[in-house]
């Protein structure tokens, strides 16, 4: 007679092997892993799950899984580094390129309920992440940014806190790195923000560099909050442009889209946002191109001009011909 199930463990996860990327596994094909059932709560859904711990290499630090397999499958990420398994990129970069809506439960109860629903969908061969609607420009963007080789450098030991204080006397025998840790935004990341793809400094750096390489570096004038679209389709209308813009920016609040000024004669349009951050997000998402009504449009930042009182006003207020 099988043992009676523990009702308190309903919804908890058991697994036989972790979901990991090649870099987290390390370059050694033979590794030892320890497995601890219900070793900790998932960093995203807060449900207990099976924790795996291993050492990727001789000079590497011990690593462990930090999220459950259900959450890893929903986002298609590694259970340890939380990077996309296909492209090796942060989820914010991938979701921005594929125009995927990022939903993030807040309370612990909602997080667990969300994970259980996702688990039932995965069992029915349904996935919450679909790239079928992704544009060719978005897929091309991911191919360009994808890491082709495993980045084993992130498996290195942690920085020695005693060395940073100037107090470590172990020298070469110290198992930790003798380096001064950088103090910038890249060194302060939140696990849930990385998983759900929001406020991720690493993703923001990647997207900003990609936008600059495609000529969409944000102008120094912070008052510029508009993007100029040219080479539009002759059948494009203000409504079709608005629909496509909102569809390609699911993470941007629709109320932040101030207006769209469409000039039919010159087949161009100004997309005006209420906040500079929303305009920069749009530039990052459209860096590799944007398709509207079957045409690949050209994207540039709007320009400012001095007003009568010497202040700077947005050029989008007065459309000009391309």
Residue range 258-307, pLDDT digits in tens:
999 999 999 999 999 999 999 999 999 999 989 999 899 999 999 876 54
For tokens 């207006």, the residue is 259
User: Which positions ≥6 away from 64 have C-beta within 8 Å?
Assistant: 51, 52, 53, 54, 80
Residue 29 pLDDT grade (very low, low, confident, very high; cuts 50, 70, 90): confident
Q: Examine the pLDDT at 31 and tell me if it is beyond 80.
A: yes
Q: Examine the pLDDT at 37 and tell me if it is beyond 90.
A: yes
d(CA 135, CA 128): 18
Q: Concatenate the DSSP letters of all residues of 225-290 into one string.
A: -EEEEES--TT--HHHHHHHHHHH-TTS-GGGEEEEEEETTTTEEEEEESSHHHHHHHHHHTTT-E
User: Which positions ≥6 away from 203 have C-beta within 8 Å?
Assistant: 89, 90, 91, 92, 93, 96, 197
How far is residue 190 CA from its own chain's centroid? 12
User: In angstroms, what CA-CA distances link 53 with 34, 77, 141?
Assistant: 5, 17, 34
CB 51 within 8 A of CB 61: no
pLDDT at residue number 150: 78
Looking at the chain, how many residues does it have?
A: 322
Residue 135 pLDDT grade (very low, low, confident, very high; cuts 50, 70, 90): low
Query: Residue 277 in 3-state DSSP?
Result: helix
Residue 211 pLDDT grade (very low, low, confident, very high; cuts 50, 70, 90): very high
For tokens 């992130």, the residue is 154
Give the lowest-confidence range in 67-81, 171-185, 263-277: 171-185
d(CA 172, CA 98): 46
Q: Examine the pLDDT at 48 and tell me if it is beyond 70.
A: yes
User: Which positions ≥6 away from 87 have C-beta within 8 Å?
Assistant: 94, 142, 143, 145, 146, 147
The structural domains of the chain, ordered by start, are 22-126+135-144 (no CATH), 152-193 (no CATH), 215-301 (3.30.70.330)
d(CA 316, CA 259): 10
- Look up residue 159 and give its DSSP letter: B
CB 160 within 8 A of CB 177: yes
Neighbours of 86 (CB within 10 A): 13
CB 80 within 8 A of CB 66: yes
CB 99 within 8 A of CB 134: yes
Q: What are phi and psi of 139, to 5 degrees?
A: -65, -40
Rounded to two decimals, the pTM is 0.81
């Amino acid at each position: 007679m099988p043992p009676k199930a523990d009702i308190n463990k309903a919804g908890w996860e058991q697994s036989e092997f972790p979901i990991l990327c090649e870099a987290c596994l390390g370059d050694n094909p033979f590794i030892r892993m320890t497995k601890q059932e219900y070793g900790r709560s998932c960093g995203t859904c807060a449900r207990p799950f099976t924790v795996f711990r291993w050492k990727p290499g001789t000079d590497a630090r011990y690593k462990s899984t930090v999220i459950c397999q259900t959450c890893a499958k929903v986002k298609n990420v590694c259970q340890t580094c939380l990077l996309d398994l296909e492209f090796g990129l942060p989820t914010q970069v991938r979701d921005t390129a594929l125009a995927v809506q990022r939903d993030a439960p807040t309370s612990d109860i909602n997080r667990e309920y969300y994970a259980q629903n996702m688990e039932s969908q995965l069992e029915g061969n349904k996935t919450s992440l679909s790239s079928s609607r992704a544009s060719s420009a978005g897929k091309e963007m991911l191919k360009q940014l994808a890491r082709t080789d495993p980045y084993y450098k992130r498996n290195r030991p942690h920085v020695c806190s005693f060395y940073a204080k100037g107090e470590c006397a172990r020298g070469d025998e110290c198992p930790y790195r003798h380096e001064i840790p950088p103090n910038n935004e890249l060194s302060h990341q939140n696990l849930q923000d990385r998983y759900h793809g929001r406020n991720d400094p690493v993703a923001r750096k990647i997207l900003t560099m990609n936008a600059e390489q495609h000529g969409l570096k944000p102008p120094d004038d912070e008052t510029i909050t508009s993007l100029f679209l040219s080479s539009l389709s002759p059948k494009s209308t203000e409504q079709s442009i608005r629909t496509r813009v909102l569809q390609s920016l699911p993470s941007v609040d629709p109320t932040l889209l101030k207006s769209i000024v469409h000039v039919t004669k010159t087949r161009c349009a100004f997309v005006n946002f209420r906040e500079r951050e929303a305009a920069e997000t749009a530039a990052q998402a459209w860096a590799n191109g944007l398709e509207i009504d079957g045409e690949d449009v050209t994207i540039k930042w709007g320009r400012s001009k001095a007003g009568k009182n010497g202040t700077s006003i947005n050029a989008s207020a007065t459309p000009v011909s391309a």
